Amino acid sequence: MANDGLVYVCNREGSRIQIYDKMGNFKKNIEVPWTPVTPPKDGKLTQSGGSAVALDFSHDPNQRLIFLVNQNNAQVEIIDRQSGKILSSFGRPGSFPGQFNQAHGIAVDSKDNVYIAENRGRRVHKFRVVNP
């Protein structure tokens, strides 16, 4: 739940963040890009989803930013909370520093350090985001 009382839900298979008020009334969606790692030759997608896995908010008073684990592209998306626009992203698939092996959890501390937990890689990464 954000400071303003809105509830943000990751809809993994729907590739979106769904936003509700405290009473459960739907407010809006933030779409999260989903693209296959290997696009089909004919360009037609037969599956979707798997992108919006976990999120947390920046710790400024307005919680201006959403940090979202996008498991599909193995990146963390930095999203403007009001507009839903992706401002930046970081990470990629792999097992080296800065790469994620099925990132599945995220937490942002009071200094805006971003912690990413992996499911398969069994690691926790720490990042400092500067001027997103």
Whether residue 61 lies inside any domain: the answer is: yes
Q: How far apart are CA 69 and CA 115, in angstroms?
A: 11
Q: In the prediction, which pLDDT does 120 show? A: 87
Q: In the prediction, which pLDDT does 12 show? A: 87
Whether residue 62 lies inside any domain: the answer is: yes
Whether residue 74 lies inside any domain: the answer is: yes
Q: In the prediction, which pLDDT does 59 show? A: 92
CA angle 127, 103, 82 (to 5 degrees): 65
| Residue type present at position 69 | V
Whether residue 40 lies inside any domain: the answer is: no
CB 39 within 8 A of CB 46: no
pLDDT band at 123; cut points 50, 70, 90: very high
Domain with 111, as residue range(s), is 7-35+48-128
Average pLDDT in the chain: 89
Whether residue 42 lies inside any domain: the answer is: no
Whether residue 86 lies inside any domain: the answer is: yes
CATH number, domain of 81, equals: 2.120.10.30
pLDDT for residue 130 is more than 70:
yes
pLDDT for residue 82 is more than 80:
yes
pLDDT for residue 132 is more than 70:
no
Whether residue 103 lies inside any domain: the answer is: yes
Whether residue 43 lies inside any domain: the answer is: no
Q: In the prediction, which pLDDT does 39 show? A: 61
Q: In the prediction, which pLDDT does 84 show? A: 96
Structure tokens at 40: 């089909």
DSSP, res 43: -
pTM to 2 decimals?
Answer: 0.87
Write out pLDDT tens, residues 26-61: 999 999 987 665 666 776 655 555 689 999 999 999
Q: In the prediction, which pLDDT does 43 show? A: 65
For the residues 67-91, what does the mean pLDDT come to?
94
Structure tokens at 25: 């009334």
For the residues 102-124, what does the mean pLDDT come to?
93
The number of folded domains in the chain is: 1
Q: How far apart are CA 76 and CA 58, in angstroms?
A: 13
Q: In the prediction, which pLDDT does 61 show? A: 94
